[in-house]
Amino acid sequence: MSTDKVADLLERNKEVSKSYKRPPPLGEGLEKRKKKGAKGTVIISCADPRITPEHFLGLNFGEAAIIRNGGGRTVDALRSILDLDSLGATGTVVVIHHTDCGMTYLSEEEFHDRVEKKHPDFAGRHPDFNYGAINDPEKSVVADVEYLKSFPTLAENMTIAGLVFDTFTGELKRMV
């Protein structure tokens, strides 16, 4: 990110902070949920800036924790799921992949080649790294849900669903 971009973001924040409404302290919310026996929701989605789960799911502020990464892959999101579940019980995990995803534009081999050229220090240390290329979002979301369900304590304690978001119609399709 260029210095000009960082300066621009800081300037925008000055305006936003003037009307910022602070959320309640996390501990209070966690304690309330615990007393009610409420379980949280985690959404795993792609980092694509066109795909905003808060918007297309009609979520209210604080309704779900959102984990975003390239392709919405669960291998990358697992640590965050475990962290969130440790803070407060997670009851539902929704994995969302989408059409026209950038992760469908390159094969795993092409990701390896490009990373090797742009970041040889990383590629040299991690030659078998999986970048998460997607051939078909309907198949990859099923594979990602199966990955999470392969951990018995997750599968036994959480509902884990897989959806595909159509980037051009705004519609969701449940795959798992």
Residues within the annotated binding site? 46, 48, 98, 101
Q: Taking a C-beta distance cutoff of 8 angstroms, is the pair 144, 73 a contact?
A: yes
Distance (Å, whole) CA 26 – CA 94: 22
Residue 16's SS3 state is helix
C-alpha 61/C-alpha 54 separation (Å) is 8
Q: Which of 134, 131, 104, 77 is CA-nearest to residue 123?
A: 131
Can you say which residues are annotated as belonging to the binding site for Zn(2+)? 46, 48, 98, 101
Q: Please classify residue 28 by burial: count the beta carbons closer than 10 Å to its beta carbon, then call 0-12 exposed, 13-18 middle and 19+ buried.
A: exposed
Closest by CA position to 61, among listed 22, 34, 4: 22
Tokens, residue 146? 């199966």
